[in-house]
Chain A
Amino acid sequence: MTISIPPTDKVSLQPKGLLRYLSFSLDHKVIGIQYLVCGFLFYLIGGLLASAIRIELTSPMSDFMARDVYNQVLTLHGTIMIFLWIVPVVNGAFGNYLIPFYVGARDMAFPRLNAVAFWLIPPAGLMLISSYFITGAAQSGWTAYPPLSITSPATGQIIWILSVLLLGGSSIFGGINFIATILKLRRPGLKLMQLPMYCWAMLGTSILVVLSTPVLAGTLILLSFDIVAHTGFFNPALGGNVIVYQHLFWFYSHPAVYIMVLPAFGLVSEILPIHCRKPLFGYTTMVYSIMAIVVLGLMVWAHHMFTSGTPPWMRLFFTIATAFIAVPTGIKFFNWVATLWGGRISLNSAVLFSCGFIINFVLGGITGVALAQVPFDVHVHDTYFVVAHFHYVVYGGSVFVIFSSIYHWFPKATGKMLNENLGRIHFFITFIGFNLCFAPQHWLGLNGMPRRVAEYDPQFTFVNQISSFGALLMALSTLPFLWNIFHSSIKGQIAGDNPWEGLTPEWLTSSPPPVENWIGEAPLVTEPYGYGQKDELLELEERTEEVSERAKE
């Protein structure tokens, strides 16, 4: 069945200029930027909370915050960074901006659902943060394990559950939209295996979102019954079973790690080939690795529960399954290195952040394989080793890629270039600060410092201070970035349509792109990574000419 679209003046219905970013806009590019800016504001708040945690931990006693305030701060930090910054930005922001270009469509499959998905986020985030000021925020960490979450103050916990449910809903709507757009909205003639890698990453991620997020929603509804109606699902005092909560929670929250990092994999696969003028190495293996990660990612959740009395067969199964994930991930890692190998690399900020990602992620990946081994995990469970591993994956992995992508696509979205020197300063301070902050935490964890507590054994003071100094650098690194964005969007050098000479479709239109992406028909890009071939430049010129000719017609 087809629907013909009546001619609309949708274009004029939307407010012009900056106002449209505050409107219920249906344009996927506007929604993408809404996601990005909104997510970044929450990142700043989450970063302030992280700074508060690191200030508290410069001394062994809890002298900066009361202990229960510390619990609230760490819960808010985790929840904000995961549900309001990384998940919405790597999926919602870049997904919305890029996927319609990549499939050759004028918008997402369901533009209204798309806008609804975005507008669920600000209220959920504000509700979560306001709980701190009104009644005290949740205190049971982002995992909200019962019985802790049942016995800690109820109001904050219920507000936490409500906002996570809203954010989960937003994520599911987004996921449905991406699956429909990638599978159904491809322009005629474009085959699945010709899509840029980010489409595959988003397809895999969206499958994970659609399959696992509802389970979290159901679990949190049961948890809220335990808190409000005093049922006993997860309350051992009433005959309930806490382990069932852990299973259901990690059935979502382990895939959630892939929801945060798979899109980042996709983005890196877009950025590297352009800047080192080589085709992406091993396209087909990349696609299969993504799908393998999706399948395996749904089968490894109980490796978070090795100390929860899991039976030996379960430990064995989940150790092996987890170790298997290292294979597709390793394939992707080697493919990126092979893409860089022998390329004409321009070491700009985007590439620096991508390379930073590769380095950090391999470290986070190695500690991940280590943590999958039961004897080792039992030793370091709930210590700073886990904190270090996790931040290497999501900060060193996803957040580095977010910055890389901002440097890469800022010229497309605004038509202005970012300042390279400021970008390099930003990278080096972030990279040094990040490693200074989190590398020592491996040592802390191995030596037995537990996570999530405001006080610790005085023998760990010095190493904690090094870590806090690293956190200070990370906080400072935001300043050159913010100045760069602010200054360049006003006085930046004009970028032109295709500053990086990219071949993927988003570069084959003006910067910023027109409302419906292309004037005239969408270009058919069957070889998105055809760099470094002799006729590459010629081909590029031809294509650009073709597009501009169509525009004239």
Chain B
Amino acid sequence: MTTSTKKIEESASLQAVHEEETHGDHRLFGLIAFLIADGMTFAGFFAAYLTFKAVNPLAPEAIYELELPLPTINTILLLLSSATFHRAGKALKTNQAGLCQRWLLITASLGLAFLGSQMIEYFTLPFGLTDNLYASTFYALTGFHGLHVTLGTIMILIVWWQSRSPGGRITSKNDFPLEAAELYWHFVDGIWVVLFIILYLL
């Protein structure tokens, strides 16, 4: 058998193999592994913050009690957005593309509202990034989380655009992008809850 005929046979049999074989879809598994890794980044930040707090106490006059109302509203906004995202997913599963898009838009606006209110908080706080160790850690933690919210909002808007009917690529049969964005969004919410407790309440 010459090499060229062997090659042809090889690729023919490969095609045959591909036609019969199905793989499991492991994208969600991969995403979960990635979120665990991402969560470890936050865990490192939290550990650093708590250690700073334990071993490097500030002078009493430098301590500033954080205002609670705005961050509480932020928490509610994010928790609400998790619920609306869930509704969007449900709507997609029952083939209601229009409803799904509406819920997605609400979720994205809640995300944007969170970012806006975070901005307001930044501008009203009496300390800046380099003032002291706490100020720096505060901005690093909330900033890194805000980056996640920004990315998540962009993802939601992409999912929103792609789930339009007709013409969108996300349908009840191909709902992985929505599912992935949803999982990521819940993760970001969960991190916020931990962050809220550690940074504002403790």
Centre residue among A177, A212, A214 by max chain B CB count within 10 A: A214
Flag if B136 contacts A225 (CB, 8 Å): yes
Given A177-B30, A210-B33, residue A2 in contact with residue B25 (CB < 8 A)? yes
Which A residue sits closest to B21, measured CB to CB?
Answer: A5
Q: Scoring A residues 1 to 39 as 1 if CB is less than 8 Å from chain B, else 0, what string do you get? A: 111111111011000000000000000000000000000
Q: Is A520 an interface residue when CB atoms closer than 8 A count as contact?
A: yes
Tell me if B198 is interfacial: C-beta within 8 Å of chain A. Answer: no
Is the CB–CB distance between B51 and A185 below 8 Å?
no
B13 CB-CB contact with A under 8 Å? yes
Beyond A179-B33, A214-B41, is A241–B51 a contact (Cβ under 8 Å)? yes
User: A210, B37: Cβ atoms under 8 Å?
Assistant: yes
Q: How far, in angstroms, from A519 to B23 measured CA to CA in the complex?
A: 17
Interface residues of A in 370-398 (CB under 8 A from B): none
Are B25 and A1 in contact (CB-based, < 8 A)? yes
Instruction: State which of B10, B37, B55 has its C-beta within 8 Å of the C-beta of A214.
Output: B37
Q: Does A451 contact B (CB under 8 A)?
A: no
Residues of B22-67 at the interface with A, using a CB-CB cut-off of 8 Å, are 22-27, 29-30, 33-34, 36-45, 47-48, 51-52, 55-56, 58
C-alpha spacing A177/B43, complex, angstroms: 22
- Residues 176-188 of chain A: 1 if any B CB is under 8 Å from the residue's CB, otherwise 0? 1101100111000
**A240 CB contacts on chain B under 8 angstroms:** 56, 133
Q: Which residues of B contact A2 (CB under 8 A)?
A: 22-25
- B174 nearest CB neighbor, chain A only: A3
The reply on B140 being an interface residue by CB < 8 A is: yes
Contact with B along A455-495 (1 / 0, CB 8 A): 00000000000000000000000000000000000000000
Smallest Cβ-Cβ distance to A516: which chain B residue: B14
Say if the beta carbon of B142 comes within 8 Å of chain A: no
Q: How far apart sit A219 and B15, CA to CA, in the bound complex (Å)?
A: 48
Residue pair B23, A5 in contact (C-beta under 8 Å) = yes
In the complex, whether B70 has a CB less than 8 A from a CB of chain A is no
B129 within 8 A of A: yes
- Residues in B with CB closer than 8 Å to A3 are 22-23, 25
Q: Which of A12, A172, A177, A232 contacts B133 (CB 8 A)?
A: A232
A residues adjacent to B (C-beta < 8 A): 1-9, 11-12, 109-110, 113, 172, 175-177, 179-180, 183-185, 210-215, 217-219, 221-222, 225, 229-233, 238-241, 243-244, 247-248, 251, 514-516, 519-520
Chain A to chain B contacts (Cβ below 8 Å), 27 pairs: A2-B22, A6-B18, A11-B14, A109-B26, A113-B30, A176-B30, A180-B26, A180-B29, A185-B23, A185-B26, A211-B36, A214-B37, A215-B40, A215-B43, A218-B44, A222-B140, A225-B140, A231-B136, A233-B137, A233-B140, A239-B133, A241-B56, A241-B133, A243-B55, A514-B10, A516-B14, A519-B10
